[in-house]
Structure 1
Amino acid sequence: MTLQSMTGFSRSEGNSGRHRWVWELRSVNGKGLDMRLRLPPGMEVLEVEVRRLAGESLVRGNIQASLSVSVTDNRLEAVVNRETLDAVMMLKTELGGIIADGPMSFDTLLSIRGLIDFREAEDDEDTRTKREQELLAGFGDALTKLKEMREREGAALFTVLSSHIDRIAELAAIVENDPSRQPDKIAARLSAQLAQLGDGVHGLDRDRLHAEAALLATKADLREEIDRLGAHVVASRELLKKGGPVGRKLDFIAQEFNRESNTICSKSNAVAVTEAGIELKVVIDQFREQVQNLE
């Protein structure tokens, strides 16, 4: 499976009989799949199927989908208001003995407000069904284009995220291989510190000092943090290679990366290790920022 970004845009348009339609889809980051659908009056019947199609293609993202439909060939029809006509004819009958009971002219009928209404001719059921099918096919086309754009964005993110992971691995190696972490260097530094402490403080048990120093050295050891960073690097690369909706998992790993980098900085007793830890934090922040765009 390929990676998908959550940002994208697509447009699909066409004709159905005497109607012209346009679908526009916009996608931005979201915790889940949230679709805001805007349909013209009379097209509400499409909503259930549109949401089903979107759910089959997308997992995450805030989607705005809008449909506009316009008539390219107007067809008007005259509609007689039967209730108004019945009322007019009843009044004519009632007044038959008072006014001349002659035939009513067409102009007279047209002048009676509300008697005749001119409106857009309605299509028959078969025509409406065909139009709905073509509109759904158009939405499917727009959805395919949106997914393709999100996949192109995902491919670009793959490259960016892979480079961040490679840099995290490089910085972890710098921390691991720093001379300050070598046993002989640690022993020499502790010996010097113990010698200074022993010369300046009388009455302290030297064995106790050695025990305390060994405890401090154990607490300051970065082996576990380096090992966990390595494990997170492997997991991140596997997720990127696997593809699909892995954004949430990578976001969790980014948090774990950040936790290890914080610990390295707090335990560091060498300038080079601290500098590597600080750069780790910067790269991890960049990594997590880009991960927020992944499905």
Structure 2
Amino acid sequence: MRRPFLVLTRRITRPFSAEFLPPWREVRRTLRTQAGAQTESDALAVEEPLEIRVRGTPVAVFMRTPGRERDLIAGFLASESIIEHSEDLLAVEPCRDAYQGQPEPHIWNAALADGVAFDPRPRRFGTVGSSCGLCGVQSLDDLEKKIPEIPKWKMPESLQVSVLLQTFEAMQSRQTLFQKTAAVHAAALWSETDGLLDLAEDVGRHNAVDKVLGACLRGGLYPLEVPRALLVSGRISFEIMQKAAMAGIALVAGISAPTSLAVDIARKTGMTLFGMVRDQRLNQYSG
């Protein structure tokens, strides 16, 4: 029988284990070559479930890399149009075991402001894989979200190639979890004046994006009213573009190529989109 959990509606001030789960762990592996075999330690990225509850109601289960759960949940709720501004979210806290009183690191609850309407019935349920963003929506119409006005940002053509290539080099140098495990994606927020503002890593591409955009929401900067760029370490899918558009992101760039729907939404919203930012070149698809 599943144990009940207490739902917390205020932030816990003292540190506890639910907020400090390691993002990687060591295992023993055998390296085999033509010359023979050698046993040594290897660092693997942690992939674990995270159940999200809103006002105590289960909404989704993510497969994610532990860390920045509040940002991840805030970003997810914003992309699902459950919340729109930082004041809509009162707290994001782990539930507690009703019998032992210990925080549960894999079950978190979001407390919404009193005036925020939430109907769990149309929401999807089940497990959201780490490679999926909006998997499980009930229809294609569910993907049509309310998109704010995108801040205008026209980077001079003379700067596009050199600036973006240098920015991705700086981004890669800060991907410490990838350097250790070679098994996570990264997303970063970038400003033309201040450089890299934030970077998050996760086994899920969309999780990394949600962590970065969720931090903006929790900081009272959502949707963005000043030009910002979202940089991603993999392909650029429709879901990533949709999350970026809802956050007011003006420019999206990725190391890999975009999908056809990603290009469509960029052109529809007026966002600038770059793909294949590597090897001293890039492709511009819109903007």
Q: TM-score range by the shorter chain?
A: under 0.3
Q: Whose relative contact order is higher, 1 or 2, with alpha carbons under 8 Å and at least 6 apart?
A: 1
Larger radius of gyration: 1
TM-score (norm 1): 0.20
TM-score (norm 2): 0.21
* Higher normalized strand content (fraction of residues): 2
* Higher normalized helix content (fraction of residues): 1
